Structure 1
Amino acid sequence: MIIKPMVRNNICLNSHPAGCAMSVKQQIEYAKKTLSPDVRGGALEGAVPRLALIIGCSNGYGLASRIAAAFGYGAVTVGLSREKAASENHTATPGFYNNLAFDREAAAAGLVSRTLDGNAFLGETKAEIAKAVRDAAAEANIPAKIDLIVYSLASPVRTDPKTGILYKSAIKPVGESFSGKTLNMMNGTFHETQAEPATADEIYSTIKVMGGEDWEYWIEALEKEGLVSPKTRTVAYSYLGPEHSWPIYKNGTIGKAKEDLERACDDINKTYAASGKIAGAWISVNKAVVTRSSAVIPIIPLYISCLFKVMKEMKLHEGCIEQIVRLYRDRLYAAESGDPEMVPVDRKGRIRIDDWEMREDVQRAVMKKMNSVTENNVFTETDVAGFKHDFLEAHGFDVAGIDYEADTDISGNNI
């Protein structure tokens, strides 16, 4: 079929297999160019990952984490995600095509990879991943000891494996209602958004879905399977953002979940790193980027559009792959980080690769735009066009070199 983007309320309902594959290839080329042994900045060979597990591997930061580990460091990778294949009349999810493209590019490069589709919250899935890790390590003839575990899940629901209770997350403020201006990226129009404060049950449910409990369960399961070692590093991703977004983000239900993620990080370190079972656990606070999730959080599309304009003008702009390359090269696997205690962190022990975004001069310029932007000047004062491009690209559209008038096999078999 001929595939055109179907976008409703900042949600894209379809994807393009060839565009997704091309986007994966572009990220691979960036990782190869910036993390090859001669340019990676003297990273210790003993510290870089040889076997990586990416939990949430199919989109955004998770996909970039897998690409950088495999094509930057030559790591064997095992990836887990939950995606949908194409049906007779509907395309697959973009992550489905991304996974296909990654595995085919890895095979062509002689890199061992395994990709599993499943519910990351279930114990059965964790057991399946353990087997996949052993199989991949055996094929690559390396020890079945995971060097890098990336936890990058974005799910709206979770069933607690110990109780069977289904929890649903809610993106809401806490304590008081929120109103603010948000942006329709497709036409540049604004509308006011209103959100009532979350109930106690909604806060608890969001923490259960988006917090750190499942990350802890993963480390516990992998340690029991004998798949971790004193070299194992694990990282989960978070976001803080500027103060004006805090009512809906940092101080809202999402923020409560992120606080629990930090609590889990501390507990993992106390339980496993302190006893030498793993090297350490970290939270990486990342930059605001366009993802399928960020496009629908109130006020965030407008903020990101202003941020992109400023950071591109200052030549500081990064997407997911650029952020993860910098995370690996300059933080987690920098030369001085061979000792886990030397990984650069803030006073709360978090890795900060949102440092350029949160620079005072950047935020001052962004706030100036946020306060002056209107529907009449949105296309000149902000980078709404860049936001729209990144959003469409995440679904395989608006990718250079793709013929969007061509009849396309939506199965992904021709990627």
Structure 2
Amino acid sequence: MTQLTFTEKIEGNVARSVNPLGLQRMMAEQIAAVAQKPHYTGAKHALVLGGSSSYGLASRITAAFGMGAATLSVGYERPPRPDFLGTAGWWNQRFFKQQAAQAGLVANNLNADVFLPQTKQEVIQFIRNRFGGQLDLLVYSIAAPKRKNPDNPAEAWRSVIKPLGNPVTDYTVDLEHQRLVKTTLEPASVAEVAATNHVMGGEDWELWVDALQAAGVLAPNFKTILFSYEGPRVTAPIYHDGTLGQAKRAAEASAHKIQAKLAKTGGEALISVNRSVTTKASVVIPGFSRYCMALYQVEQQRGGHEQPVAHIDRLFRDMVYGTKRVVDGRGRLRPDAAELSPAVQGAVEDLLPQLTPDHFSTTMPGYQQFRREFRQLNGFDVPGVPDTMDHDAFTQLATD
């Protein structure tokens, strides 16, 4: 029998391989973490844009296994081929659908570009045919590098992670070589700021709600939510005060426009400012991984470390559909309140001076936690999971 070996490969901070068996185990564990809690009344039919990883996947898990919702996830992922094992997101979509079916839940995946008008129309037809023409919840969880201009498909906007006004220098982790390195980013141009707003702001979110509303498929009391990020003072120059922060504020402006359109039917457009977590995107933001390492170490000492599924389950259970909303002065939900508390941030700022190239150690608990979470995004470092598999069994796993 031919055996496949799942070998981890990290280039810089980009994972180039997957272990589907590890992803399958991680999916089961995340689902169990939600399913073991009491069910609550929420959405019956949920659409998750970007439901293949991180907060989008966590939203789908809690909608299905916390509320009992039928779900549709839209995202663009690459399936396996003879010379490629497939992306982690493709396997996540597959394993979610399998485990939802075993639980008697409706779950469908659409592998498509979320930004395209034809994708919106395909989803509307699905809602009419499979969701009884009623959508209760839209989660917008897209982190994309580019978006085509819907009015001019020949033009593509590209998002950038850059500061504004002045260069920013910070330390960031190099996961391939397990070290901290100094990185300097030059400020964004006016055109780059505008392009990032087009990609990461709320324009496409508005287009989705407009299309769904025009098609008459929004249920009474429909809710839609977009995930934002505020972050601490130490990451502000590259995030809150940079291109990404600008885009998040543009998304918040979109929330107000959407809310005005939904008000007559009792709908809600919500912004949730989420906590810092390990994602494939976050590791390429200079300084962010170093902050996460310090934060995770403090949280290990104090308690309170949440990974995406626990964070989003709490958000939906307590704040979106519950009675324990924590809202800031701008009307945004704030499940990140514990992370940004003065006590936690004070301890993090005390620890950060020790996280320099000269003092960095791979034995630091915060680094170990960060690296483990990053590796598990692609199915590696999952206890009890083998790194080999019979080729025929792999083929069956990918086609069942």
Using structure 2 for the length normalisation, give the TM-score: 0.95
Report whether the alignment pairs 1:175 with 2:165: yes
**Residues 128-137 or 57-66, more deviating:** 128-137
Alpha-carbon shift at residue 89 of structure 1 (Å): 1.5
Alpha-carbon shift at residue 356 of structure 1 (Å): 1.1
Contact 2:179 2:360 in 1 (8 A): no
Report whether the alignment pairs 1:413 with 2:366: no
More strand by share: 2
The one-letter code sitting in structure 1 at the alignment partner of 2:344 is V
Unaligned 5+ residue runs, structure 1?
38-42, 138-142, 338-342
Partners of 2:79 and 2:103 in 1: how far apart? 25
Please state whether the residue corresponding to 2:398 is helix, strand or coil.
coil
Partners of 1:178 and 1:29 in 2: how far apart? 42
The one-letter code sitting in structure 2 at the alignment partner of 1:390 is E
**Which residue in the other structure is 2:200 paired with?**
210
**Residues 354-363 or 379-388, more deviating:** 379-388
Taking only the aligned residue pairs, the percentage that are identical comes to: 34
Please state whether the residue corresponding to 1:250 is helix, strand or coil.
coil
**Which residue in the other structure is 1:148 paired with?**
137
Alpha-carbon shift at residue 86 of structure 1 (Å): 1.1
**Which residue in the other structure is 1:340 paired with?**
none
Alpha-carbon shift at residue 312 of structure 1 (Å): 1.7
Alpha-carbon shift at residue 330 of structure 1 (Å): 1.1
Please state whether the residue corresponding to 1:85 is helix, strand or coil.
coil
Alpha-carbon shift at residue 378 of structure 1 (Å): 3.3
Please state whether the residue corresponding to 2:295 is helix, strand or coil.
helix
Contact 1:185 1:301 in 2 (8 A): no
Unaligned 5+ residue runs, structure 2?
none
Partners of 1:11 and 1:153 in 2: how far apart? 19
Contact 2:138 2:225 in 1 (8 A): yes
Q: 1:370-390: per-residue Cα shift (whole Å, max 9, x none)?
A: 112244453455511111111
Q: 1:307-326: per-residue Cα shift (whole Å, max 9, x none)?
A: 11111211100000000111
Partners of 1:307 and 1:414 in 2: how far apart? 40
**Which residue in the other structure is 1:118 paired with?**
112
**Which residue in the other structure is 1:93 paired with?**
87
- For this pair of structures, how many residues does the alignment match? 393
Q: 1:107-159: per-residue Cα shift (whole Å, max 9, x none)?
A: 1111011110101111100011112222322xxxxx42111110001110000
Using structure 1 for the length normalisation, give the TM-score: 0.91
Partners of 1:240 and 1:382 in 2: how far apart? 25
Report whether the alignment pairs 1:20 with 2:23: yes
**Which residue in the other structure is 1:356 paired with?**
338
Contact 2:197 2:247 in 1 (8 A): yes
**Which residue in the other structure is 1:272 paired with?**
262
- From 300, 305, 325, the equivalent of 1:312 is 300
- From 345, 351, 359, the equivalent of 1:369 is 351
The one-letter code sitting in structure 2 at the alignment partner of 1:24 is M
- From 80, 86, 99, the equivalent of 2:74 is 80
Contact 1:86 1:410 in 2 (8 A): no
Partners of 1:99 and 1:78 in 2: how far apart? 10
Alpha-carbon shift at residue 15 of structure 1 (Å): 1.2
Report whether the alignment pairs 1:402 with 2:392: no
RMSD: 1.6
- From 161, 183, 193, the equivalent of 2:150 is 161
Contact 2:290 2:355 in 1 (8 A): no
Contact 2:22 2:376 in 1 (8 A): yes
**Which residue in the other structure is 2:10 paired with?**
7
Contact 2:56 2:141 in 1 (8 A): yes
Q: 1:165-201: per-residue Cα shift (whole Å, max 9, x none)?
A: 2101111111111111111235441111011110111
Alpha-carbon shift at residue 401 of structure 1 (Å): 2.2
Please state whether the residue corresponding to 2:219 is helix, strand or coil.
coil
Partners of 1:186 and 1:33 in 2: how far apart? 36
Alpha-carbon shift at residue 253 of structure 1 (Å): 0.6
Partners of 2:152 and 2:237 in 1: how far apart? 32
